[in-house]
């Protein structure tokens, strides 16, 4: 965990880099400008394989902000098989659920349809698994996991080019 002074130092450094135009990538510049304006980092989701063997990156912070304003909230049914795959693949850490997730408010997950012929939880996988575990523990079998469903034309604007995501990571 960083101290307030370290975060201020990081913001000052980012401002200087932006002012000196040392960050050439316009998307990376915009991500960093948004962070400075918000006073918080940008959450980026990395899908390991976009179907061509290359990773795919999503600006989850901007996607969540957009979905909150423009999307209807749906109730997702518990899916124990998906929850198990998320844990077995390492995408979800049970310790993180115990130490963090169950102590936070249940905010809607974000599911993007049409990725690799299916759908992908790009925000809220830990919340999804925690809710599935709760459903199993209490014998609840009704839809109750709040979430947003984004179609390809809605999620594609939030894809970050691979080169940008890698350059952005260098500044973080």
CA distances from 120 to 8, 33, 36, 78, 141 (A): 35, 28, 29, 15, 22
Residues 139-148 have pLDDT tens digits of 776 668 899 9
Q: Work out the mean pLDDT of the chain and round it to a whole number.
A: 81
**pLDDT at position 153 over 80:** yes
**pLDDT at position 53 over 60:** yes
Please give the distance of CA 9 from its chain centroid, rounded to a whole number.
25
Question: Residue 151's pLDDT is what?
Answer: 96
Question: Residue 150's pLDDT is what?
Answer: 97
Q: Which of 83, 69, 159, 152 is nearest to 112 (CA)?
A: 152
- Higher pLDDT among residues 8 and 121, named by residue: 121
**Maximal C-alpha separation, the chain:** 58
- Higher pLDDT among residues 114 and 21, named by residue: 114
**pLDDT at position 1 over 50:** no
């Amino acid at each position: 965990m960083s101290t307030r002074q370290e975060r201020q130092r990081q913001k000052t450094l980012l401002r200087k880099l932006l002012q000196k135009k040392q960050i050439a990538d316009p998307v990376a510049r915009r991500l960093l400008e948004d962070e400075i304006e918000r006073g918080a980092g940008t959450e980026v989701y990395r899908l390991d394989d976009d179907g061509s063997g290359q990773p795919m990156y999503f600006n989850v912070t901007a996607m969540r902000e957009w979905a909150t304003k423009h999307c209807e909230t749906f109730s997702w049914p518990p899916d124990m098989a998906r929850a198990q795959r998320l844990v077995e693949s390492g995408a979800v850490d049970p310790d993180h659920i115990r130490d963090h997730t169950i102590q936070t408010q249940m905010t809607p997950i974000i599911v993007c349809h049409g990725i690799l012929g299916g759908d992908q939880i790009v925000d809220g996988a830990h919340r999804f698994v925690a809710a599935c575990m709760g459903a199993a523990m209490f014998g609840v079998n009704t839809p109750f996991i709040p979430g947003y469903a984004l179609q390809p034309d809605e999620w594609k604007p939030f894809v970050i080019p691979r080169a940008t995501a890698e350059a952005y990571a260098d500044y973080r």
